[in-house]
Structure formats: structure tokens, C-alpha cells
Structure 1
Amino acid sequence: MNLVLEEDKLSQLGGLLTKLIKEGGASYTLLTDMAGNLICKNGEGAVDATSLAVLAAANFAATKEIARLIGEEEFSLLFHRGQKENIHFTRISPEILLIVLFKPYVSLGLLRLKVESIKKEIQRLLEE
């Protein structure tokens, strides 16, 4: 896939990631393609976004193969709980992955609702 985004679309995507931080309680958000190429990011903290994008895409690809081995087409989202930070991955389209970092005290249910809402907005924006 060759994704080419103009500056105004990148700015709009960044705005949607900011919205997820403000409304969903995320601390850091990234949008990447399935090859691990960082599209855009937003948030606070010392996060190596490039490495995170690559490793998250690889993690998602490995999980897709695990799903296939057990008879599932794929798992549409992944979630890992940590002591200081949680991470939520969801596929926006066949080639786009949204990665969300959030603190353990943030409600996973609320975050998932906000991610689903932002996912639809990102999909609409990318279809334009």
C-alpha cells in the first residue's frame, strides 16, 4: 500500500488523536501502517514512537497468525495491561493501526468507546 497524505489531512488526523487524549483519557496515541511506518502521533512523555510503531505492527501481525492458527480470521484489537501504562491496539483499516497508551486507572470500557468513535472518524477522513 502506498498511503500519501496531504498536510491538511495529517493535521486533521493529529486533531483526532488529540481528541482521543482529551476525551478518552489516553496519554499517547500513534497511527501507523501495518509495516510499522509512523503516520502521526500525539501525547506526552518520552516515547520512542518510531520503535513503538514498528514493534506494534509486528505484534499485530504475529497475533493475526495466532488467530489464523486457532481458526479465527483475525483479532481486531489487542490490549496489554501494565503496572504503569496500558496499551490498546485497534485496526482502523486493512493497512492502518491505531495504538493508544493509557494509565491503569483509565476505564478500558470508556477508552474502547472513544476509540471506536475516533476509528470511524479516521476511516471517513482516509476515504476522502
Structure 2
Amino acid sequence: MGHAETTFREQVAPRQISMDEYWMPFTPNRDFKHDPKMVVRAEGMYLWSDQGAKILDGSSGLFCVNAGHGRREIADAVGAQLRELDFIAPFTRGHPKQFELATRVAELTPGDLNRIFFVNSGSEAVDTAMKVALAY
């Protein structure tokens, strides 16, 4: 099996990177390695390729950037929270902001849907919903 590399063009200087170690999800990896489409930065709803092309990010909401890229106010809020407390396992300890956010979300939900359980993915949400449905 051959070693795949590409030239990764950045604003400062081009450099070679290995393409062998990272296996991209839902991607024909051989095709990608043959014609890599590298993104080097993003702002708002746009991406920029390593070739300098400005691209509308039509899939930004797919995982985690539905509010857009490079939002200073979001980065500042995340930084402040990371400096205060980056993580606490929610099993036997809590943080006031967990409860504040749950209250805000509950105020937005209809009727008596006022119990909030935070998860990281749709899979966890469905799994939890099934457990709740079976329990009640």
C-alpha cells in the first residue's frame, strides 16, 4: 500500500502532510486522497480552501456550527466558561449554569415539557427518549 501525501497550502508557507493516518467518515478515502479538498479557515457562513476559493458552507449545521464559524462572542463565552470550569460529570455534582440553561430551555418548550436532559448527539437523545418512554 502506497503512502499518500498532499501539499497543504497555508497563508504562511506550503507544507507536506501525510494523508494515510486519518480515516475520514462517510468519505471515499481513496478518492479524497487522489483529489483532496482542504479547508484552511472559516468565517460566518463561508469556508476558504487551501487554494484560496471562498465556499458557502452548506453543511455547517451538520454537526456543530449552525451559528456560523468564527463568532467572536461565542468564542469569548466558551473561553470564559473553560477558564471557570471546563467539565463536571453530571452524575453526583452540578454546576449552576447547567440548571440555568435547563430552566431557559424548559421555558421555551410547550405545555408541561419541562424536564431537560442534556446529551451530545442524536443517538443519545433517541436512546434516552426510549428509556424515558419505557419507564413511564
Q: TM-score range by the shorter chain?
A: under 0.3
Which is higher, the Rg of structure 1 or of structure 2? 2
- TM-score, normalization: structure 2? 0.23
Structure with a larger share of its residues in helix: 1
- TM-score, normalization: structure 1? 0.23
Structure with a larger share of its residues in strand: 1
